[in-house]
Structure 1
Amino acid sequence: MRRSRFVEVNYVPVNTMSDHEHNYEQNYEEHDEEHDLNSRTDTNKGSTCSSRGRRSFWIGITVLLLVSGVVVFSIVGETHLMNVKTQQQPVVDSELMETKLLMREMEKKVTQMLDYVQRKVSPLVDNLPNFALESQGASLIKDLRSNNYDWLPWWLPVKYVTNSPRIVIQAHSLPLVPGECWSFAGDRGHLTISLSHPVAITHVSLGHITKDQSPSHSISGAPRSFSVYGMSTLDGGDMTLLQDFTYDDNGDSIQTFEVVGHEEKVFKYVKLQIESNWGDPTYTCLYSFRVHGKRSPVIEA
């Protein structure tokens, strides 16, 4: 019997590729791996860029919405303010009209008050004729008046020239000017005036600056008590006391006094006698003196 012989053969893979082919395949595999790596990297980059793009988009949308909201809010606010102003405009116009009407009424009242004062007071000062006005023909009797006040010592060679007493009967514009007066020594003095016309005397006016006009806020040299006499001749035989008066140092600068009880007498001369002043023992100042009355065909005193 024949025995079969088996020969054990070990199979060993034989590399049939050449070295060149083997290197090509290896390079190809490495290239594929690098390509896969690059693909994954590009994919990650694309994903990141896409995420950033979406974020920028939503931020832009948010900013746009905010800006739009601000603009809309501004427009609505301005519209509201315009509506409010439009609604308030009639009220403002009405208030302005009421104010104008009130001012017109006040102007009318002030005008009426001024007219009243002019009718009641001004005629006694300005509108009544002044018969003791030098420019109208009145004059002072030189020998029938007090001496001027000389405040410089007698032994000085230079003398201070005071204003003439004529200033008392000259025209004065109001307000009176401080210092534009006639001064006589002491608190008692007098002067005599020849009137421009024989008149029945109804009022007299005496003038001095007020305390507000005085630099010292005092008018102690202003006349206080004074008397007015009427005469038809200069000999004084028929001198008539018309009335005694008191000048108010807190009153107006020009004060007018009514003469009562001598309406039927006509006088050509008037004597102004100052009896006292408001406290200054050295001198007294006279700014203005006026005589008011009526020329009428009555029997002279």
Structure 2
Amino acid sequence: MEGSSGSSANADASARSNGKRETVQETLRTRTKINQRLQFAYHSFQKINFMFRVLAGILCAIAVIIPVTAPSWKNRGTAMAVCFLIRFACMLSTMIVSTDVPLNCDGEFYHRLWSEEPGPDYGLAVRGGEIVAELTTPTLGYSPLSYSDKLVRSWDRYNWDQQHQDIVIPQTVIGQSVRVGECWAFAGTRGHIGIQLVIPISLTQIVLHYPNTHRLLERELRQAPKTLVVWALVEEHSLMSLEAVFSTRPANHFSKKGQDSSMMKGGVFVAAANIEYRPEDGMAQSFPVLKGAASLRTGVVVVEVVNNWGGEATCLYKFGVHGTGE
């Protein structure tokens, strides 16, 4: 009896030992499977992140190539859509590994792709540029205040200004932004605006800004300028030493009073740039100055609109004057 009970105890101990070994082995197999799955998930995430990076690079290349090789508004719109796809791909990528989103989908980014930076705008109002009222065509819808208007405005200035707030002042032309409808308008197809620059400069480039034509009504497109001449006020004696032949106008040619002011005494207006403007060619178009005009220094320019695209009035958006200063 004692022998049989001893063998039975040994058998139970052996069974328990085998069960423990199987449990440990099963635990090890389970841990191995979990580790393998975690490693697979980690490598899968790495592959997905790499794929998104490659996709962003391909889309970025496409976004750069499209506007550079075929800079039409249709293609620029396509490039803008591609930019948003890039940002979407990068957004998904940042969910996995933190990365910087490389692009901002705005007009300035794409403008830098196909346009050389012309340098500082010396007519910009925030830098000290000013509109010369004496050399500027009257604003459409605005007339000098009569004595009675001045009394009404002094009595209730807020309401008076609210009633006339739809009139865009000439200073918009030397502002910083370009928004649909915020343009300086004058009646008819011919007019001019005088700009006093921050400092005297030698002109190099003129830049005309206009909104995306897809956002404009047909009536607004007809009000865009077509042919323009940029006149620079220079000292008359400075032309004598130059061989180039310039088209000129007397200093009082654009003056409302037909008289020389203190800033125009001894001066003459010289044609610095002839511009044929097509709004559909881009939101910011650069035009070089005429040969020889770059050697002249000027502190005042007049932008003369010769005609527009068929509108009864003409509207000017931002106008940039670029050159070399000191």
User: What TM-score bracket applies, with the shorter chain setting the length?
Assistant: 0.5 to 0.7
2:242 alignment partner in structure 1: none
Give the Cα–Cα distance (whole angstroms) in 2 for the partners of residues 144 and 189 of structure 1.
10
1:195 alignment partner in structure 2: 197
Q: SS of 1:276's equivalent?
A: strand
Structure 1 residues 151 and 134, CA gap change in structure 2 (3 angstroms): closer
* Higher Rg: 1
Structure 1 residues 179 and 103, CA gap change in structure 2 (3 angstroms): same
Aligned pairs for 1:165-204 within 5 A: 165-172=170-177, 176-204=178-206
RMSD: 3.5
Q: SS of 2:207's equivalent?
A: strand
> With CA pairs under 8 Å and 6+ residues apart, which has the higher RCO, 1 or 2?
2
Tell me if 1:274 matches 2:274.
no
Question: 1:143-162: per-residue Cα shift (whole Å, max 9, x none)?
Answer: 1110111299xxxx998562
Tell me if 1:253 matches 2:268.
no
Structure 1 residues 100 and 217, CA gap change in structure 2 (3 angstroms): farther
Question: 1:90-125: per-residue Cα shift (whole Å, max 9, x none)?
Answer: xxx7x969955741540452576598962651513x
Match of 1:148 among 125, 139, 155: 139
Say if 2:231 and 2:303, in contact at 8 Å, map to a contact too.
yes
Q: What letter corresponds to residue 265 of structure 1 in structure 2?
A: L
Q: What letter corresponds to residue 276 of structure 2 in structure 1?
A: T
Q: Higher mean Cα deviation, 185-194 or 235-244?
A: 235-244
Structure 1 residues 291 and 117, CA gap change in structure 2 (3 angstroms): closer
Q: SS of 1:219's equivalent?
A: helix
Give the Cα–Cα distance (whole angstroms) in 2 for the partners of residues 132 and 289 of structure 1.
8
Say if 2:274 and 2:290, in contact at 8 Å, map to a contact too.
no
Give the Cα–Cα distance (whole angstroms) in 2 for the partners of residues 116 and 151 of structure 1.
37
2:322 alignment partner in structure 1: 292
Say if 2:194 and 2:302, in contact at 8 Å, map to a contact too.
yes
Task: Count matched residues.
Answer: 197
2:211 alignment partner in structure 1: 209
Say if 1:226 and 1:244, in contact at 8 Å, map to a contact too.
yes
Gaps of 5+ in 1: 1-88, 297-301
Offset of residue 184 of structure 1: 0.4
Give the Cα–Cα distance (whole angstroms) in 1 for the partners of residues 55 and 110 of structure 2.
20
Q: TM-score, normalised to structure 2's length?
A: 0.52
Q: What letter corresponds to residue 280 of structure 2 in structure 1?
A: N
1:109 alignment partner in structure 2: 61
Identity of paired residues, percent?
23
Aligned pairs for 1:5-44 within 5 A: none
Give the Cα–Cα distance (whole angstroms) in 2 for the partners of residues 240 and 123 of structure 1.
26
